[in-house]
A and B are shown apart, each in its own frame.
Chain A
Amino acid sequence: MNNVVTRREELQQLRARADMATEYAAEMAALRSRKDYLAEYDYFLDLLGLLPHPERFRERFKKPLVGLTCVQAPLELVDALGFHPYRLCAHASSRQRLVSSQLPSLACPLLKSIRGSFHLDESLERLCDLTVIPGSCDWMAKLPETLEGRAPGVHVMELPRIRESERGQRRWLEEVRELKRVLEKRAGRSLSRQALLRSLETHARAWRAWHLLLDARSQSLISATWTTVISHAFLMGDTEGWTDRVNRLLRVLREQPPLSGTRVFLAGSPIFFPNLKVPQLIEEAGMHIAGDELCSSERILAGPALGRDRSVDGLLRSLAEQYHLGCSCPSFTDTPRRLANLLETLHQRRISGVIYHVLKGCHPYDMDSYRYEKIIKERGFSFIRIETDLSREDGKNLLVRLEAFRDLLHERS
């Protein structure tokens, strides 16, 4: 009997790996065949191409891996203690299918995709020496329990939802200090100020390059599909190499003719490789995403953590606050600021329409979408809400709606 189960599991593993390789390869091929493909994108695509091949990833980076599930966990801290920080987020239906019978059908597809990878005996997720999970939403809060020993080490960070109070800010700082202690224990050494400063500097440089690339996107020099590829490549943790390549790409982009397309803003749930359906469909419908607020895109980097106190603890506090206070995640209780930032970007980047993306099952963004619609429309901007998951079947339907939205924007301009 046991043999039968093992055999079945083995087959399941083989099929899952094959499915995953196919899914990633298909998206990669689609990207390489795009008209706006440039050779400079290869570095980023190659990094993403490592995702289904943990052994190659390991070979390339050779450091102990720390997997993170959310933009709230400070990368600088992980990096400064000699680990390779790697974001576990993905939009892979091949991974999601692996856990379809074990999680509610209405669970967030992103969570399922993350959870699915832990089902693969050989996956980057399983290779992580530590998995850090900030409890950003209820799904994420429940994730650690569902892992059932499939991850070598799990550390949960409790995220205060109220951050305007001193209490909330102190609690998060305590969480960051605790993460430092956990990492130090794993690393077998304590965090040095110099290493932390170096890491802060590296990430500040990455933030600067990313900021310039977003400017280039706002000037229609690069499409959001490519910036999504690049942002996901950043999450693979090769920060210095990535920054260098983004800077090189910027020089090439400045020579490119601007892309056409009606300017829109993309709000809502995150989007990860290998399912770039949403930006691709928006572009196919004749629109250009000139700004976004996605934690998988514009907000992948928290920005330079400045502060007066440059002791290790002072730097930790700066990091904690920069990540926590500056984050526009809907899981916090202070959404008005996020909405104000969005409206400001619409003005600054001359955008007249907002596409609000809801990943079916991503409740915090879903909840916000109604108020967003009301206020954005009241301010005279156009708004469309699209709800989708990781399947490709609704592509045609979405395209029709997006084309109608583009026409509406044309009529109103």
Chain B
Amino acid sequence: MNLTRSRLLVQSLSFGILTYGGRFGLNLGHALPCLSCPYVNGCGGHCFLMALQGSFWGVQASLSALAGPRGLETLRMLALFILLALQLSKLWCGWICPFGTLQDALTWVRSRLGIPEARWSWATSDRLRWVKYIFLLLLLAIPLMIANLGLHGDYGLPFCQICPAKPLMPLFTGDTAHLAIDTTNAITTAMTVLSLLLAGGFLAGMFFRERFFCIFCPMLALLGLVQRFGLVRFTKNVNACVGCGSCARSCPLEIRTVRAELVKRDVMSPECMACMTCADSCAHDGSLSFHWLKWRIFASSAVGAARRFRKGLFS
């Protein structure tokens, strides 16, 4: 089976399990390294970002409490997340995350409609990639400020409040509740309006640009922080690369560093989500490869690229 099909299969299965698994008694825990959103009734496991921001397993607690057993609980959760992140690293994004799969589906629809993808300059791409770290910083800082500096509690779970997965993913279970504006007070009104505006904006972005949300996703930032210790390796034989740029053109995030690298073997950039499309598009035997520990998962080859070329163009 070729890479595109294998990935589609894994993505579809993950989507089904993570979106509906809970209805069949499945619970993969609260530390999943992907946007498997708990706002989806009956989901099969919970996105770690919620746990991280929360007051139960996360950082929303007084600093003195965090120094005690409450902090240990937070650390335990973090350790669980890291353990999962180390096992599969960015495969969580490229192959498992249901919100990633939704974005791929939107891209599929757009390309079927013959609508060209939105393009921007290298400089803009380089600037945008910092936004996810700002989100990450805020999703840690705001809960700490609520617990320690008296910030209003309605700012709780700050990232979840603006995360487009929250209003969009429950739609797959027919739940439209998160599309409503919460008028309880000024803060909830402002936050729900902001959430809807952002969801609309991201939805449009995701339609016109492949994996648009992933550029800003704090989960990708977190995974990026631990990827260097992970078991999944993305390596390049820099001497075999002719610099043709197929990898960058095929990459959903248009990552240019894989092509540009001339020295280092490790080419998994913080932005990479291990979808392996680049390796599948590279026509040079063994130039790009993915390993799990010492086992090879996938490597570029002339045969593979020729097949992808035909399938990619005419499927």
Q: Is the CB of A308 within 8 A of B246?
A: no
CA distance A105 to B259 in the complex (A): 41
Q: A310-B313, A322-B244 are in contact. Are A208 and B116 (CB under 8 A)?
A: no
A309 within 8 A of B: yes
Cβ 8 A contact of B249, one of A207, A211, A321, A343:
A321
Q: Is the pair B310, A340 in contact by a Cβ cutoff of 8 Å?
A: no
In the assembled complex, the Cα of A311 lies from the Cα of B114 at a distance in Å of 7
Asked if A325 is at the interface of the complex by the 8 Å CB criterion, the answer is yes
Whose C-beta in chain B lies nearest to the C-beta of A209? B306
The chain A residue sitting closest to B260, CB to CB, is A164
| Given A317-B249, A318-B249, A328 and B242 contact (CB-CB distance below 8 Å) | yes
- Asked if A50 lies at the interface with its beta carbon under 8 angstroms from chain B, I say no
- In the assembled complex, the Cα of A318 lies from the Cα of B259 at a distance in Å of 14
In the complex, the chain B residue whose C-beta lies closest to that of A318 is B249
Total number of A residues with any Cβ neighbor in B under 8 Å: 37
**B:229-280 near A, CB below 8 Å:** 237-246, 249-252, 259-260, 262
- Tell me the A325-366 residues at the B interface (CB within 8 Å): 325-326, 328, 334, 336-337, 340-341, 343-344, 348
Looking across the interface, which residue of chain B has its beta carbon closest to that of A344? B239
Please give the number of chain B residues whose Cβ is less than 8 angstroms from any Cβ of chain A in the complex. 35
Q: What does the 1/0 interface line of A183-213 toward B look like (CB < 8 Å)? A: 0000000000000010011001101100100
Are A340 and B306 touching (Cβ within 8 A)?
no
Asked whether A306 lies within 8 Å of B240 as measured between CB atoms, the reply is no
Most buried by B among A201, A205, A304, A321: A304
What 1/0 mask marks residues of chain B from 203 to 223 whose CB sits below 8 Å from any chain A CB? 000000010000000000000
Alpha-carbon distance A238/B222, docked complex (angstroms): 54
Is A303 in contact with chain B by the CB < 8 A criterion? Answer: yes
The one of A200, A204, A325, A341 in contact with B239, judged by C-beta atoms closer than 8 angstroms, is A341
Contacts A304-B283, A306-B308 given; indicate if A326 touches B210 (C-beta within 8 A): no
Interface residues of B in 270-313 (CB under 8 A from A): 281, 283, 302, 305-306, 308-310, 312-313
On whether A309 and B116 interact (CB within 8 A), knowing A336-B262, A343-B239, the answer reads yes
> Does A284 have its Cβ within 8 Å of any Cβ on chain B?
no
B116 contacts A204, C-beta separation under 8 Å: no
A344 CA to B122 CA, complexed, in Å = 30
B111 within 8 A of A: yes
Q: How far is the CA of A344 from the CA of B240 in the complex (A)?
A: 6
Inter-chain contact A309/B117, CB cutoff 8 Å? yes
Which residues of chain B are near A326, meaning CB under 8 Å?
242-245
Asked if B246 and A322 make an inter-chain contact with CB atoms under 8 angstroms apart, the answer reads: yes
Q: Does A9 contact B (CB under 8 A)?
A: no
Q: In whole Å, how far is B248's beta carbon from the nearest beta carbon of chain A?
A: 8
Q: B121 interface residue, CB < 8 Å from A? A: yes
- Are A325 and B250 interface neighbours, CB within 8 A? no
B240 and A201 within 8 A (CB): no
Contacts of B238 in A (CB 8 A): 340
Contacts of B306 in A (CB 8 A): 204-205, 207-208, 304
Is B24 in the interface zone, CB < 8 Å from A? no
Does any Cβ of B come within 8 Å of A244's Cβ? Answer: no
Whether the Cβ atoms of B243 and A325 lie closer than 8 Å is yes
- Give A167's nearest chain B residue, CB to CB: B122
Given A200-B313, A208-B306, A321 and B250 contact (CB-CB distance below 8 Å): no
C-alpha spacing A340/B239, complex, angstroms: 5
Q: In the complex the two chains form, what is the Cα distance from A340 to B236 in whole Å?
A: 13
Q: Are B111 and A306 in contact (CB under 8 A)?
A: no
Nearest chain A CB to B212's CB is how many angstroms away?
A: 13
Distance of A148 Cα from B116 Cα, bound (Å): 43
> How distant is the Cα of A340 from the Cα of B251 in the complex, in angstroms?
24
A211 to B242, CA, bound (A): 15
A40 cross-chain contacts in B, Cβ below 8 A: none
Give A337 to B241 CA distance when docked, in angstroms. Answer: 8
Contacting A307 at CB < 8 Å: which of B114, B122, B249? Answer: B249
Contacts of A317 in B (CB 8 A): 249
B247 nearest in chain A by CB position: A306
C-alpha gap A158/B314 in the complex (Å): 33
Distance in angstroms from A239 CB to nearest chain B CB is 15
A310 to B169, CA, bound (A): 29
- As a 0/1 sequence over residues 152 to 196 of chain B, the CB contacts with chain A under 8 angstroms (1 = contact) are 000000000000000000000000000000000000000000000
**Is the CB–CB distance between A310 and B242 below 8 Å?**
no
Known: A197-B314, A306-B308. A311 touches B245 (CB 8 A): no
Q: Compute how far the CA of A9 lies from the CA of B262 in the bound complex, rounded to whole angstroms.
A: 56
Determine whether the beta carbon of A208 is less than 8 Å from that of B302: yes
Q: A200-B313, A306-B312, A321-B249 are in contact. Are A341 and B242 (CB under 8 A)?
A: yes
User: Separation in Å of the B219 CB from the closest CB of chain A?
Assistant: 23
Cβ of A255 under 8 Å from chain B: no
Kindly report which residue of chain B lies nearest to residue A313, judged by CB atoms: B116
- CB-based nearest A residue for B119: A309
Residues of A contacting B244 with CB < 8 Å?
Answer: 302-303, 321-322, 325-326
For the complex, give the distance between the alpha carbons of A121 and B304 in Å. Answer: 47
Q: A164-B260, A326-B242, A343-B239 are in contact. Are A308 and B310 (CB under 8 A)?
A: no
Q: Report B-chain residues with C-beta under 8 Å of the C-beta of A208.
A: 302, 306
Interface check A314, CB cutoff 8 A: yes
Q: What are 25 A-B residue pairs whose CB atoms fall within 8 Å in the complex? A: A164-B260, A200-B313, A201-B309, A201-B314, A204-B306, A208-B302, A208-B306, A303-B305, A304-B283, A304-B308, A306-B246, A306-B250, A306-B305, A306-B312, A311-B114, A311-B116, A314-B116, A321-B245, A322-B244, A325-B244, A325-B245, A326-B244, A326-B245, A337-B242, A337-B243
B contacts, CB < 8 Å to A: 111, 114, 116-117, 121-122, 210, 237-246, 249-252, 259-260, 262, 281, 283, 302, 305-306, 308-310, 312-314
**9 interchain residue pairs of minimum CB distance:** A326-B244, A307-B249, A344-B239, A304-B309, A325-B245, A306-B281, A340-B239, A321-B245, A306-B246
